[in-house]
Structures are given as structure tokens and as C-alpha cells.
Structure 1
Amino acid sequence: MQHFTIATVAEQSTDFRRVLWTGEHSQLVIMTIPPGGEIGEEVHEDIDQILTFVSGVGEALVAGERRAVAAGDLVAVPAGTKHNFVNTGPNPLVLYTVYGPPEHADGAVHHTKEEADAAEESGQDEPPTS
């Protein structure tokens, strides 16, 4: 069994992205987006994503719709949907997200968005294959 006090774990991380757990069909990831930062516009063709916000404020851009997000909010992004999340506040935007199936390499830690982007572009951030 894996057990996390997820809000606490997420709040304690300063990493842009950290994979906490990877299963066969889903993956748990925590993210910290710095003030003025963003996840980056993307589409996961075959992956559903659920994001739950722990602290900070931001803006969700999903399928052309904009909505403010804050602690306690959850946003579901169906596979194939263009999306981005932007930190609009003065403090980090902290969240945890569940991908189904996994999207990132098991145990991956990316301290910055630039590091995460480089790992994806180089093929070092590939999810495990069954």
C-alpha cells in the first residue's frame, strides 16, 4: 500500500513535477508552478488527467474555456483535449494530478519546467510499458 497525506506532500515539494506513484493504469504526480509560470499548452491524446489544486491561484484553460482555480478545486481533462494551467498569483500554484494511464517516467523528478521539457524532448520522460 502507498499512503500519502497528499496536500502536505505537495506543499512540501518545490519541484515543478515529481512522480509519487505509478501503477499499471494510473499515475500520481505533484506539481509546483511558480508565480507567472505555467504547465504549458498540451494535449494528451490517450490519457485522461484529473488535477486537484492544493494552494495558490491560477487559471485553467481547457478546450478553449477559461476558469479561475484555487485550493480545493478539481479540473478533469479528457484525453485529446488541449489544456494549460497558469499561475496568476504571487505564490506557487501547488497541485496533484492523476493521469490514466501513466504519462511520465516512474519516479521522475523535474526541478523546473525547463528541465521537464528537456526530459520530454530527449525521450527520458517516457512512461513505463507493461
Structure 2
Amino acid sequence: MTQETQRTTLPIVQMAKDNDEFRQVIWTGEQSQLVLMAIPQGGEIGGEVHEGHDQLLYFVEGEGEATIGEVKVAVQAGDVSIVPSGVFHNFKNIGSGMLKLYTTYSPPEHAPGTEHVTKREADAE
């Protein structure tokens, strides 16, 4: 899928459920960015800190564990995790299928149109 530059309304939940790529940037504006993510069984996003970027993660399928700062909680479809700028975070898939979500960054974190099929590909970049 290519970046959605002309559309302002998207069926984002269905797009996230249909996505099998680790990371797929679908829209980037001056102040925010929309990204699809799919974490395979037993996989994780990887611990990180975004300085100067707030992040919201909206879960649409699967079961996971969110670590935000010192707090660990279970996440599932319908949950949103809030990661303020400068806070350590990681998200692990603890379910039996894919953990699927969409996330927003404010301001944008990745180059427009970024696609990573796997975490290994994302880490290499």
C-alpha cells in the first residue's frame, strides 16, 4: 500500500486488521503521522524512547503486554496506550496470533512512505 496523501477519511481499523507488515506509514502531515503495525506471535516492537514525540497506539486485534515507563499492563482490541515524549516503552505480542494496531506520532517519527515488512528490516534501517 502506498501513502494515502489525498484521502482524509480512512477505514483504519480494517486497514490495521488487513496489514501484515511490521510497520507501514500511511499518512504524514506536518504535525502528526499515522502508521499501521503488525507484531508476530512472540514478537515485540522493541524498547525505545521517543524524545520530542508523543505516541498513541490503538489495538485492533490480538493480545499484548504494554510496558510504559515502570508500568506493565495487558492490552487487547479496543485498548489505547498513551506514550508521552521521553518515556521508555515496549509492546510485546503475548497472544497466539498477530498483534495488530495503528499508531499516531506527534510530530512525525518516520519518513513518509516508510514500509518495513519485518522488525529485522526496521532495525537494519
Q: TM-score scaled to structure 1, two decimals?
A: 0.90
The CA distance in 2 between the partners of 1:3 and 1:15, in whole Å, is 21
**Superposition map of 1:1-130 within 5 A:** 1-119=7-125
Cα distance in 1 for partners of 2:39, 2:90 equals 12
1:13, CA displacement in angstroms? 1.1
C-alpha deviation, 1:66, in angstroms: 0.4
Give the letter for the 1:41 counterpart.
Answer: G
Q: In 1, Cα distance between the equivalents of 2:124 and 2:77?
A: 29
User: Which consecutive unaligned segments of at least 5 residues does structure 1 have?
Assistant: 120-130
Q: How far did 1:2 drift?
A: 2.3
Structure 2: gaps (5+ residues): 1-6
What secondary structure, in the 3-state scheme, does the structure 2 residue paired with 1:39 have? Answer: coil
Which aligned segments of 4 or more residues in structure 1 are displaced greater than 3 angstroms? none
Report the aligned-residue RMSD.
0.6
CA distance in 1, matches of 2:19, 2:73: 25
- The alignment of Structure 1 onto Structure 2 pairs a total of residues equal to 119
Distance in 2 (alpha carbons) for counterparts of 1:43 and 1:112: 20
TM-score (norm 2): 0.93
Please give the per-residue CA displacement for 1:49-100, whole angstroms capped at 9, x wherever unaligned: 0000000000000001000000000011000000000000010000000000
Cα deviation, residue 4, structure 1: 1.1
Mapped to 1, the partners of 2:78 and 2:51 lie a distance apart of: 27
